[in-house]
Chains A and B, each alone.
Chain A
């Protein structure tokens, strides 16, 4: 079986389904830098203009998951697990789940040699 770059936890998939009901189709973009950086941002599809050169890492619950091309250079060897945690502290991002005191997080790990060889093209 080929390796996926992104997988999703039960908590994240439940939150995605909940947000879909409220907002319709969604899109994810892995952010970089500063306060709430290195977190996946979740927006209504079409609200965030996905930069045309961003790289698609995969699909989660039917939503596309992107990363900028320059960040992908360093994420190329990493697997991301999209998780969702409580966030009672708030955030300064506009990611949709923050309205529900939750926060999507990208938990990443380096692929094993076997996984990297078998990445889905």
Chain B
């Protein structure tokens, strides 16, 4: 606690007592006049009041976005690139305030929002500002007199439904490519984390044409379906759990529109014996690589929540791992020395505790943690101690996404067994492989059925690397410039310069 006593928590910025929807470039009260309290998981206390919108507000937002699209669809690449850079600059100028807001909304440690979430948000807008300047469609000389042009055109109004685990970063992942491609957006934030995105809109509203981004808060049960089935919505992007993902796909069939889904994961993180060939920087990195299950309080769809460790190094490796987990500093999430913050809600905390109980009932051995953390700084907040279970891959704690700081560890004998266990899951989002053997790294990374394999690293999210799921983890990709094509149509213009008729008629 000594470090914590010396470093003061960051001061809470002044927030408004009530926020509104952001529609057509204006702050608009919900038509029904209803609001709900937004509680902070940091202390369980109200932060502000947020619109509890209805179908009417969604209709207003879609209308505003459609109107904006009439001119935004004709914006030039240069104009959109300049705009996205200005968005990035405005966020950067407000970085600390937004990082603190994200921490208060979600509960995660401010150390993470300052060092990871916000820098990645800013970079995402700059990345898409840059890549649209450097790409072009394609032209083919089909024959000396026939030219085929593949032209990109935006889809129109797109709906985006984002999760609560990275409220600003997941918004940026969806907003930046959609705007870069020339679309207008209606975005529904997640219920538990509605505030930080509204502060972000305050910061960037001046640089956006009115109606290009519209934000409507409210219960998914009331506004989700209206948004996803709206006839003027040309695409739905969703991040969340599997059943809602299926529902989104089903709704998309009504208007025959595409949907991209980023769903759950139960990512394997595989450690081969060669990591312990030396007690050096790389071995230290591998230990941290395992302990990253506690990153973002474990509330990450790519959380490395299954650690597969080669039998021959299990004991000495785990000894070092447990020392590192023991050193995880918990406390006030607003204190920059705090390493792990709160879970997003009381129900989320209860669900995690339920899984911890199930792990014990199934006979898994709890190596560390396994209970709530009573935070002396915030007794009303929702905290769980980082927890590690040892068991086998058929247990529920190895198969279900807990979405908390709970790691399930098991051992394997050889590469074949490691791969079999790694792929014995309904998900395929993230994965990690750690070894000093290049051939082993290659065969494992090709063998694992997942959209992302981190090789000798974990939890890095550069803009220029695609991200998405195999199996039940979703459809489509995010990040990387390939994302632009999921937000636009391809139009083929086929031109003949031959003056003569075909000769059929």
A contact residues vs B (CB 8 Å cutoff): 29-39, 41, 43, 47-49, 51, 68, 70-71, 73-75, 78, 85, 87-99, 101, 103, 105, 107-110
Contacts and interface: CB of A to CB of B under 8 A. Distances in A.
A99 B426 contact: no
User: Considering residues A30, A32, A107, which has the most beta carbons from chain B within 10 angstroms of its beta carbon?
Assistant: A32
A38 B224 contact: no
Interface stretch (B7-15, B394-402, B483-491): B394-402
Contacts of B225: 47, 94
B427 interface: yes
Given A29-B243, A33-B301, A91-B220, A49 B346 contact: no
A90 B426 contact: no
Interface in B209-239: 219-222, 224-225, 239
A70 B426 CA distance: 7
User: Considering residues A39, A92, A95, A98, which has the most beta carbons from chain B within 10 angstroms of its beta carbon?
Assistant: A92
A45 B106 CA distance: 33
A98 B347 contact: no
B264 interface: yes
A74 B473 CA distance: 17
A92 B163 contact: yes
Question: Interface size bucket, B side?
Answer: 35 or more
A45 B164 CA distance: 28
B244 interface: yes
Interface stretch (B129-137, B148-156, B188-196, B331-339): B188-196
Nearest to B162: A92
Contacts of A87: 345, 347
B250 A38 contact: no
Nearest to B469: A33
A110 B395 CA distance: 11
A37 B264 contact: yes
Interface string B345-362: 111001100110110011
Contact of B241 (A37, A47, A51): A37
A84 to B, nearest CB: 11
B465 interface: no
Contacts of A70: 426, 472
Interface string B446-484: 000000000000000000000000001100000000000
Contacts of B396: 74-75, 78
16 contacts: A32-B264, A33-B264, A33-B265, A34-B264, A34-B265, A35-B240, A37-B401, A49-B250, A74-B396, A74-B400, A75-B396, A78-B358, A87-B345, A89-B191, A92-B244, A109-B358
Interface in B185-206: 188, 190-192, 194
Contacts of A105: 347, 350-351
B241 A89 contact: no
Contacts of B224: 94
A23 to B, nearest CB: 10
A45 to B, nearest CB: 14
B42 interface: no
Contacts of B240: 34-36, 92-93
A48 B472 CA distance: 18
Interface string B233-267: 00000011111101100100000000000011110
The 8 closest A-B pairs by CB, nearest first: A33-B264, A90-B191, A31-B243, A37-B241, A89-B345, A92-B190, A34-B264, A99-B221
Contacts of B171: none
B110 interface: no
Given A38-B400, A90-B36, A33 B221 contact: no
B161 interface: yes
B426 A32 contact: yes
Contacts of A95: 220-221
B125 interface: no
A43 B247 contact: yes
A108 B241 contact: no
B37 interface: yes
B43 to A, nearest CB: 13
Contacts of B220: 91-95, 98
A94 to B, nearest CB: 4
A75 B426 CA distance: 13
